[in-house]
Amino acid sequence: MSGCERGATAVEFALVLPALLGFILGSVEFGRAMWVRNTLQYATEEAARYVIVNQAATAAQIEAKVESNAIGLSAADVIVNSATTSIGSVSYLTITATFNFSFLGYGDHFGAGFTLEGKSRIPLT
């Protein structure tokens, strides 16, 4: 190696490193977003199963069931709504859980977050 090429590897590494770290961090954050989404879906499905067995469940009981099954998420950050709708002669209960996802858990420091949602709908008898 001649004297003018001694720092070429370090310069190339310095140019590639930010892109590589951004890709790795983005992959991890995408995986975390999918984990949160799947957790919300699981929690609403479990609450729907609870309502099928306990037809007289109140909105507070449904919310508690969703929050207890949203493992790894703060109950204060999970917003639960349940609503009854009718389509024809059949009534349905729709349970929705939402979570405001922010990148790296730092809110607006790394761009605006977005809302993730899990939803389940069951027929009522």
pLDDT 10s digits, 14-35: 999 999 998 998 899 899 999 9
pLDDT 10s digits, 27-86: 998 999 999 999 999 999 999 999 999 989 999 999 999 999 999 999 999 999 999 999
> What single-letter DSSP state applies at residue 109?
B
Does the reported pTM lie above 0.85? Answer: no
Q: Residues 119, 99: contact at Cβ < 8 Å?
A: no
90-101 β-sheet, strand order:
78-87, 90-101, 114-124
Mean pLDDT within 1-16: 82
- pLDDT band (50, 70, 90) for residue 125: confident
- Number of domain units in the chain: 1
The domain of 78 spans 3-124
